[in-house]
Amino acid sequence: MAVQGEIERFNLRSRLRFNIDAGQIWLDESRMLLLHAKALGALRRELFDSLGAKRAQGLLFRMGFAAGQQDADLASKLLGEGDNFDVFQIGPALHAFEGLVKATITEAHIDWEQGCFFGETKSENSWEAESHLQQFGIGEDTACWTLSGYASGYVTRFFRRFIVFRETQCTCRGDHHCVMVGKPVEAWGDDAYLEYCRPEELDTSFQALQQELWQLRGRQREQHVPGKLVGSSPAFRMAFDLLSKAAKSPITVLLLGETGVGKEVFAQWLHENSDRADQPFVAVNCAAIPNDLIESELFGVQKGAFTGAQQSRPGRFERADGGTLFLDELGDLSPSAQVKLLRVLQTGEVERLGDDKARKVNVRLVAATNVNLQQAIADGRFRADLYYRLATYPVAIPPLRERKSDIPVLVTALLEKYAPIYHKSLLGLTDRAMQALMAYHWPGNVRELENLIERAVLLVPSGAQIEVEHLFAGATPTAPPGAAIDRQGQVGNADEARRELLYDTLLDDGFDLQAHETRLLELAVRRANGNLTHAARLLGITRRQLAYRLKQATGEAGPGARHGMTKSNSDR
């Protein structure tokens, strides 16, 4: 009953969704599998046969560890800022909910401040013991490796210390039931388990260590990020192959693509992989500079050329001498700047404004635009002769929606970039968050993805996973997953149909709106243990609205009063 109570208390059922049309089951943000214990048992048997007991046990332990860590995240989320001991207790409830085992905590000595931990659980109906007995019969060894891995991963994650659970009794050894004991890894006094654990793979909760790693990577990446191109999708490879063929030659490259596809990153890569890599890379965004300044910016000014030109200064062309000049948003260049640019390209010489001295420049030009230049020519906004000079080697950079398979690697690179900046150690994205990114259509391309990830890194608590709501802040781009299970464990065909039926039945029985509202309020407050904020969340209203309605229900001698709602439990 204790487990059932925990499941109700945290309303776990509401987190479990069957989206049968999409072929998905979700437990909160994690994709779950309803698979045959027999199939997993067969895999388990094959692991033992092909790898030997030791390695098979290690693999199973680590698999359980990963599951335990995911559930610890969910538990912390369900409990919010509540007592850590409660988090410890939801573990067995989640494990039971997932159908793996019925575990009961028989002993727990936890001192959060001191970091002391001792725990003992009794397991019944372990799927693993059952499967092991079917496959191997009674033997010398304990068998519940995924289960001890789960308990270890679970406790390790929220205790932030490496806690290892070992089976001291197991039905596979002929014991009456399975018993697991958990202690900090060093308290075991031997390192037999370390072999199973391979800490380098399990240390995701060793925050300090991970933080260091992120920072180290962040620091390394800082030198590479601007020139780093990430991707392996066919569309990306096509653009990249074209780009690499041009890298070593001085040919003028025209980068085409929508806003946000990362044209400057491509340009920078081109520079860094050319034989001009040790010379300057100068980038100019033509759209960001006012028309009356663009010419002096590009070509330079001679002292006295116009009022305010008190000093001679070189333009970007001269500053890029020997290296690469990247002209972004070229379609926005003013007509007179277009003429001057064409002349530079034809002669290889620049003249500063107010100066008739021609200066030789050796510049490799990379231009980029997101406007259709052909159309601009037809409209008389862009010079055809300049276009033909620039368009000798066009490279079209695909929009993000045409290279979605690159999203996971891009996300990894962006997390490595932003986690150190915001001093967060993060555990990646939930399955559902990643699915939402894959389903989105990305009108703003890689830049939009970068903005989204940066915001998510800012919003997510350190040590947690990024969830859908961190990314899309309320406006979830994917449909919420489908049917839930009811109290009897039945899966609804669809939420809507079930509600329809419920309302029908209610009306048939002679409906009293006020009474039903009061009952709902009571139920929610009870489920939330009197916490009005939590109760309001269950009801989909604000705490203020709930308090007001409760007051109405109890304060007035309306039909609600007869349900005996007391003031004390509504004021908490």
Contact set with Zn ion (CB under 5 A): 129, 144, 170, 178
Closer to Zn ion by Cβ: residue 145 or 266: 145
Q: How far is the CB of 122 from Zn ion (least distance, A)?
A: 11
- Cβ closer to Zn ion: 105 or 371? 105
Between 182 and 463, CB nearer to Zn ion = 182
Shortest distance in whole angstroms from residue 43 CB to Zn ion? 18
Nearer to Zn ion, 148 or 233 (CB): 148
Are 368 and 256 a contacting pair, CB within 8 Å? yes
Closest distance to Zn ion from the beta carbon of 187 (Å)? 21
User: Which residues lie below 8 Å from residue 28, measured CB to CB, with a gap of 6+?
Assistant: 15, 74, 77, 430, 432
227 DSSP 8-state letter: G
Minimal distance in Å, beta carbon 119 to Zn ion? 16
Q: Tell me how far, at minimum, the Cβ of 180 lies from Zn ion, in Å.
A: 8
Which of 72, 163, 152, 74 shows the shortest CA–CA distance to 111?
Answer: 163
Q: Do the beta carbons of residue 408 and residue 225 sit within 8 Å?
A: no
The encoded tokens of residue 221 equal 């990446």
Least distance CB 123 / Zn ion (angstroms): 6
Whose structure tokens read 């290296």?
Answer: 323
CA distance 498 to 483: 9
Give whichever of 170 and 426 is closer to Zn ion, judged by the CB atom: 170
- Reading phi first (left if > 0) and then psi (alpha if -120 to 50, else beta), residue 540 is in left
17 or 166, CB closer to Zn ion? Answer: 166
Q: State which residue, 74 or 144, has the beta carbon closest to Zn ion.
A: 144
In the complex, least distance from residue 19 CB atom to Zn ion, rounded to whole angstroms: 33
Continuous segment of H or E residues that includes residue 393: strand 393-396
How many CA atoms lie within 13 Å of 115's alpha carbon, on the beta-carbon side?
9
Q: How far is the CB of 148 from Zn ion (least distance, A)?
A: 8
Q: Which is nearer to Zn ion, 129 or 256 (CB)?
A: 129
- 3-state DSSP assignment of residue 351: strand
Phi, psi values for residue 512, rounded to 5° = -130, 100
Instruction: Please state the closest distance from residue 149 (CB atom) to Zn ion, in A.
Output: 12
**CA 560/CA 572 separation, integer angstroms:** 19
Task: Please check whether residue 123 is in contact with residue 34, taking contact to mean a CB–CB distance below 8 angstroms.
Answer: no
Closest separation in Å from C-beta 184 to Zn ion: 22
CA 143/CA 152 separation, integer angstroms = 15
If the CB atoms of residues 129 and 267 are measured against Zn ion, the closer one turns out to be: 129
Element (DSSP H or E) covering residue 66: helix 53-79
* Interacting residues of 424 by C-beta distance below 8 A, sequence separation 6+: 457, 460, 462, 463
Token pair of 123, please?
A: 């397991």
How far apart CA 126 and CA 33 sit, in angstroms, is 18
Beta strands in 78-184 (DSSP E): 102-111, 116-124, 163-169, 178-184
Choose between 126 and 205: whose C-beta lies nearer to Zn ion: 126
Minimum distance from residue 178 beta carbon to Zn ion (Å)? 3
Which run of H or of E encompasses 378? helix 373-378
The answer to whether 281 and 316 have CB atoms below 8 angstroms apart is no
Nearer to Zn ion, 167 or 450 (CB): 167
Residue position matching structure tokens 């596979």? 172
Q: Which is nearer to Zn ion, 12 or 103 (CB)?
A: 103
CB of 99 to Zn ion, least distance (A): 16
Q: How far apart are the two ends of the chain, measured CA to CA in Å?
A: 27
